Amino acid sequence: MLLKDNIFSISFVLIIFLQLNYTQSENTSTIDGIHEIVRPKIINGFTKNQIAQTNEDDNQHISSISIEIELNGVLKKLDLKLNRNLIAHGFKHARQHQGKYLSEIPENEELCHYQGQIQGTKKSWAAISTCEGLRGVIFDGEKMYHIHPKTGVLNDDHYLYKHDDFKANYTREFNETQRHTRPAKKFRLNKRSTDDVIRGPFNVNQATRYVELVFVIDKSEYINLNSNLINVHRYCKDLANIMNSLYRPFNIFIALVGIEVWTENDRINMTTDSDELLKRFLKYRMKTLVNSIPNDNAQLLTSVHFDNGIIGKAYRGLICSTENSGSVSVHHSSVVGLVAATLAHELAHNLGIDHDTEDCSCPDELCIMNPICQNDVIPIHWSACSFKNLSHAYRQGLDYCLRNKPKMLFDSPTCGNGFVERGEECDCGLPEKCNNHCCNAALCKLHPNASCATGTCCDVTRCTLKKIETPCRSRKGECDLPEYCDGKSEYCPQDVFKIDGEKCKSGKAFCHQGNCQSHSDQCRKLWGPSICISKLNCYDRNTLGYWGGNCGYDISKNISKKCEKDDVLCGRLYCNVKPGIDLKLGSSMISKKIGMQTKYRDDCQGVVMDFGLNNIDPGLVPNGAKCGDNKMCVDQVCMPVEKVKEKFYIDNSCANNCGGNGVCNSLGHCHCNRGFSPPDCQSFGYGGSIDSGFSKYYNDTYKFANSKFETCSDDLVDAESKVILNLKTYPNEEIAKPNTDVTLVCRDESPVRADVRWIRDGNLPLPSNSENNGNRLDLFRVKPEHSGVYICEAFQYPLSFPGRNASVMLTVKNI
């Protein structure tokens, strides 16, 4: 494995050459190496009868099965659930046909991929597919096993190998680089005690992250899989299923959103140079793949063997990047679990996880992110360092694109997947993992006398609904609204918030989708708590329409949108950042950094950040920021607040401004102040709305607390929107003879006394024989070609600022 400028790779000198083809063939060749022959017994999870196949009709497979199999001389029973969450809604197949590129969403995608564990063994897990026999991995809490069919028949003989027995087929060589190298010596990580629990943001009480993954299969790999699309699709789903199991400790879910197969021609020039191939593939992803199959991450799998024994390569910490979220890997083993481990390793680099070092704590001798593949240990666990790396990456905002939960492709309910679906009363996961005494985990039905089993409005200690008016979702900020239990459902009501356009932060910003963000707020998020918005003249650059000044930048096409003059304060964000201050949010996601100082020594610091095409660049001015008097930014356009509010008043639901006793919420209904009752806030009540409920006892008043760093003046936008400039020129118009001298004077006669300067209309240069001294312009020996409009401007104010300019018409002619 290599480390070079944040590019990581895995290397082997000799690969495991097990002559095992991933096919539908009736006769699979004998496996070289140590293995056992086993004949598992498959049992229907509901009827408890032995079965010969798991598919019931068409491509639909039984949702729950058990497998009895002998492991290391002991009969074990696996309890498995169909992993319907493996395939996301909108899952696509892409392939070539007669020179054309075809992309389709299959109507009935076969899913035969199961996950679960050994009955009675808490630390065990398994990821197995049942299409054409059993394929996958089983971990018994101590050792890993790989299972593969001998004939492709489910109830026939299968090959079973111990993970440790593969070590005889490996030799290891570390591939050194010119700049960064690791010693080609053995080292062991400090073995962690089994009692030591790594604490972090990855336990079951934290939000799960979702990686929407696409596999790309090149022509060599397509041929390696017998040029059979069914084989390719099954193999990719097997890989994703195993990767899912490996990422379970991180509470990261892998959602396969698509498979692209290059059946006729490779869509990039393939090469054995892994660095160059990674660059080509990532460019292809950015230019083409993310548009045809939107994804968080793409992995290219090839049968082309890279130079120096490298089998995988990826960039570090760029998971949400349009440009660099992806990897390239070699199909280096006939054992699907080993290939899946390589792909999991490369994805981990994209997630910001480094190689392990000697002081990392690991439950085994070596962990997954070990930089050297030892010839006597094959890692299957994550080290403590990997958990710390991921935690740090999350704090840097690198999970920006991983919080949206993919929609499932299949509508039929699956008991045991943790989601309460059609026909289910509850679902607490697999029976052996369910600790909810209100729910019958095997049937996904409530126990007798139980009213509920899940939800923030369910008292799971008593299995009863919480009382009406119980708070279930508090306000996240002054633009949000609280929700209360209604006494009828175990779930908290829909999250609602104030109508877009409501003033917040004492008028320094406006609510937008429940958030309140000013220019300086975003500057602090990017650069730290002491940073404020830059002087407003910095924003004039947004009219130039290049990557460093714009109202939107498509990084995949390198296209920038110019800001109209009225929209400059809603385009690229500029902050007053002094030298030596580093970016705090997502520093590895910087695509381009804008650092400049105007000729008037105003610091203008901006940044272009790549968090993916479907995510807003944090380097742009946030929605809701103030851009003028009663104006707010919405998608890089400066809009009158009343126009923003119009869409909420169409049905007149919030007529008469809720009687002045409440605010309109995001569903167009009145949320009443305490002391008034919905729906119109005209009569006595306890506040709230018909959407979020109310409470007699809970005061939902939100107090906006100023930070100790709240010293920004937007802040400037707010202060300067109240300014009225009064530029006067002397004279107002001038007619002069050729070869005479002319003096033009300008000053701001408002209380502000703004600094001014002279320019010529149409971007024409001032005459060479002139002196521009700020408010005074001296023109010597004028000529007829010097005729035209001369403009006095208050240059520290945006181009759109009222009263910013005053002009003088100069005419040079014989009188």
pLDDT tens digits, 134-145: 988 898 888 888
Q: Which residue in 116, 120, 140, 118 sits closest to 128, CA to CA?
A: 116
Q: What is the mean pLDDT of residues 267-293?
A: 93
Q: Which of 376, 385, 391 is nearest to 358 (CA)?
A: 385
| Per-residue pLDDT at 29 | 35
Q: Domain total for the chain?
A: 3
Pick the closest to residue 757 from 697, 804, 688, 693 (CA basis).
804
Confidence of residue 481 (pLDDT cuts 50, 70, 90): very high
Cβ(698)–Cβ(686) below 8 Å: no
What dihedral do alpha carbons 488, 490, 494, 496 form, nearest 10°? 90
pLDDT at 306 over 70: yes
Task: For residue 234, give both structure tokens.
Answer: 């099954």
pLDDT tens per residue, range 312-340: 899 988 888 888 899 999 998 887 888 88
More confident position, 95 or 718: 95
Percent of the chain at pLDDT exceeding 90:
34
Please check whether residue 153 lies inside any domain of the structure: no
Q: What is the mean pLDDT of residues 208-231?
A: 92
Give the pLDDT confidence of 340-380 residue by residue, as tens digits.
888 999 999 999 998 888 888 888 777 888 776 554 445 67
For residue 188, is pLDDT > 80? no
Within-domain flag for 123: no
771 as an active site residue: the answer is no
- Beta bridge partners, 60, equal 57
Continuous segment of H or E residues that includes residue 523: helix 519-527
Q: Extract the tokens encoding 49.
A: 């009868």
Give CA–CA dist 698/676, Å, rounded.
Answer: 14
* Confidence band of 414 (pLDDT split at 50, 70, 90): low
| Residue 349 token pair | 């680099």
Q: Which residue has the tokens 């390239």?
A: 328
Distance between CA atoms of residues 340 and 312, nearest Å:
11
With respect to residue 265, please indicate whether it lies within any of the assigned structural domains. yes
**Please, which residues have CB within 8 angstroms of residue 274's CB and are 6 or more apart in sequence?**
9, 306, 307, 310, 313, 328
Instruction: Tell me: do 365 and 242 sit in the same domain.
Output: yes
Q: Phi and psi (nearest 5°) for 592?
A: -145, 140
pLDDT grade for 720, boundaries at 50, 70 and 90? low
Give the relative orientation of helices 336-350 and 229-246 as an angle to the nearest 10 degrees. Answer: 60
Taking residues 10-24, what's their average pLDDT? Answer: 34
Integer Cα distance of 114 and 85 in angstroms:
10
Q: Which residue has the higher pLDDT, 273 or 593?
A: 273
* Separation CA 504–CA 304 (nearest Å): 58
pLDDT at 620 over 50: yes
Tell whether 210 is covered by a domain: yes
730 plus 615 within the same structural domain: no
Are 200 and 315 found together in one domain?
A: yes
Full residue range of the structural domain in which residue 357 is found: 196-395
6, 167, 283, 316, 368 from 275: Cα distances, Å: 12, 28, 13, 14, 22
Predicted local confidence at residue 347, as pLDDT: 95
Maximum average pLDDT range among 152-166, 186-200, 622-636: 622-636
Q: Cis link prior to 731 (omega < 30° from 0)?
A: yes
Q: Which residue has the higher pLDDT, 278 or 356?
A: 278
Distance CA 256, CA 401 (A): 15
Average pLDDT on 294-308 reads 94
What's the mean pLDDT in 377-405?
81
Residue 714 lies in a domain: no
Q: In this structure, what CATH number is given to the domain that contains residue 385?
A: 3.40.390.10
**CATH label of the domain that carries residue 738:** 2.60.40.10
78-88 tens-digit pLDDT: 999 888 777 66
146 is in an annotated binding site: no
Question: Is 519 marked as a binding-site residue?
Answer: no
Q: Is the pLDDT of residue 207 over 70?
A: no
**Is 692 within the bounds of a domain?**
no
Q: Does residue 30 carry a pLDDT above 60?
A: no
What pLDDT, on the 0 to 100 scale, is given for residue 590?
56
pLDDT score at 5: 43
Q: What is the pLDDT of residue 89?
A: 62
Say whether 261 sits in a helix, a strand or coil.
strand
Higher pLDDT, 728 or 416: 728
Of 336, 364, 395, the last residue of a domain is 395
For residues 603 and 532, give the distance between their C-alpha atoms in angstroms, rounded to a whole number: 11
Please report the pLDDT score of residue 202 as a whole number. 25
Rounded mean pLDDT of the chain? 80
The better pLDDT of the pair 29, 56 is held by 56
Residues forming beta bridges with residue 158, ordered by sequence position = 38, 149
- Amino acid 69: pLDDT: 94
Give ∠ CA 57-58-59 in degrees, rounded to 5: 105
* Same domain, residue pair 604 and 730: no
Placement of tokens 């930089």 in the chain: 371
pLDDT score recorded for residue 338:
82
> Is 673 a residue whose pLDDT tops 80?
yes
* Beta carbons of 255 and 85 less than 8 angstroms apart: yes
pLDDT of residue 751: 79
Options 221, 260, 346, 793, the catalytic residue? 346
Residue 465 is predicted with a pLDDT of: 95
Residue 150 domain-assigned (yes or no)? no
Contact 793, 807 (CB under 8 A): no
Q: Give dist(CA 186, CA 166) in Å, integer.
A: 18
Residue 711 — very low, low, confident or very high, per pLDDT cuts 50/70/90? Answer: low
608 and 747, same domain (yes or no): no
Question: Given this model, what pLDDT does residue 178 score?
Answer: 28
Q: Is 355 annotated as a binding residue?
A: yes
Look up residue 593 and give its two tokens. Answer: 């950094």
For residue 82, how many other CB atoms are within 10 A of its CB? 27
**Would you give the DSSP letter of residue 50?**
B
pLDDT at residue 715, as a whole number: 52
Q: What is the pLDDT of residue 232?
A: 92
Residue 123 has pLDDT above 70, yes or no: yes
Model confidence at 408: pLDDT above 90: no
Is 345 or 716 the better-scoring residue by pLDDT?
A: 345
Express as a percent the part of the chain with pLDDT over 70: 77
Q: What is the pLDDT of residue 529?
A: 82
d(CA 83, CA 617): 34
Burial class of residue 230 (count of CB atoms within 10 Å of its CB; 0-12, 13-18, 19+):
middle
Average pLDDT over residues 294-317: 91
In what order do the strands lie in the sheet containing 158-162? 36-38, 158-162, 144-149, 135-139, 125-129, 113-118, 74-82, 64-71, 41-44
Q: Which of 597, 621, 645 is the last residue of a domain?
A: 621
Residue 360: the pLDDT is 86
Rounded CA-CA distance 234/260 in Å is 13
Which tokens sit at 472? 């279930």
Question: Among 506-510, 546-550, 717-721, which stretch is predicted with the lowest mean pLDDT?
Answer: 717-721
Segment 217-225 shows an average pLDDT of 95
Tell me what pLDDT residue 412 has.
40
Categorize the per-residue pLDDT at 525 as very low, low, confident or very high, splitting at 50, 70 and 90: confident
> Cα–Cα distance between 242 and 113 in angstroms, integer?
9
Compute the average pLDDT of residues 9-32.
Answer: 36
**The pairing of beta strand 515-516 with beta strand 509-512:** antiparallel
pLDDT at 480 over 90: yes
- The domain boundary residue, chosen from 379, 395, 411: 395
Given a cut of 70, whether residue 185 has pLDDT beyond it is no
CB of 346 closer than 8 Å to CB of 352? no
Per-residue pLDDT, averaged over 119-124, amounts to: 85
CA-CA distances (angstroms) from residue 282 to 273, 275, 289, 297, 355?
14, 11, 9, 10, 22
pLDDT at res. 204: 30
pTM: 0.58
Distance CA(307)–CA(86), nearest Å, equals 33
Q: What is the pLDDT of residues 734-757, one digit of tens each?
A: 999 999 999 999 999 887 788 888
> Is 74 inside any structural domain?
no
What is the per-residue pLDDT across 565-619, written as a single tens digit (0 to 9) for each? 999 999 999 998 877 777 776 555 555 666 555 444 457 888 888 777 667 888 9
